[in-house]
Amino acid sequence: MFTLIEPEFDELAGRTLVVLGAGSISRGVMAIGEAFGMRVIGLNSRSSVVELEQALAEHVRAYAAERGKGGG
């Protein structure tokens, strides 16, 4: 359908996406997240405990910030 109005998908831009896995599906999900302007963190079985803790802390910070804005 032709339209002069371009859709905006800004509700995902700037958000954080944590992907667990290193397979082709995970890589595809990460590429889609990046295309939407998301901060993407990829973890796999070789990721360290520190990397996992950092990803969890990022999620908690983002969730708290969103809840503070009335987004939850």
Residue range 4-51, pLDDT digits in tens: 666 666 688 888 899 999 899 999 999 999 999 999 999 999 999 999
CA 30 to CA 68: how far, in whole Å?
A: 27
The full DSSP string for 21-58 is --SHHHHHHHHHHHHTT-EEEEE-TT--HHHHHHHHHH
Quote the pTM value: 0.70
Q: Would you kindly state where each structural domain of the chain is located, as residue ranges?
A: 16-68
pLDDT of residue 6: 64
Q: What is the pLDDT of residue 67?
A: 83
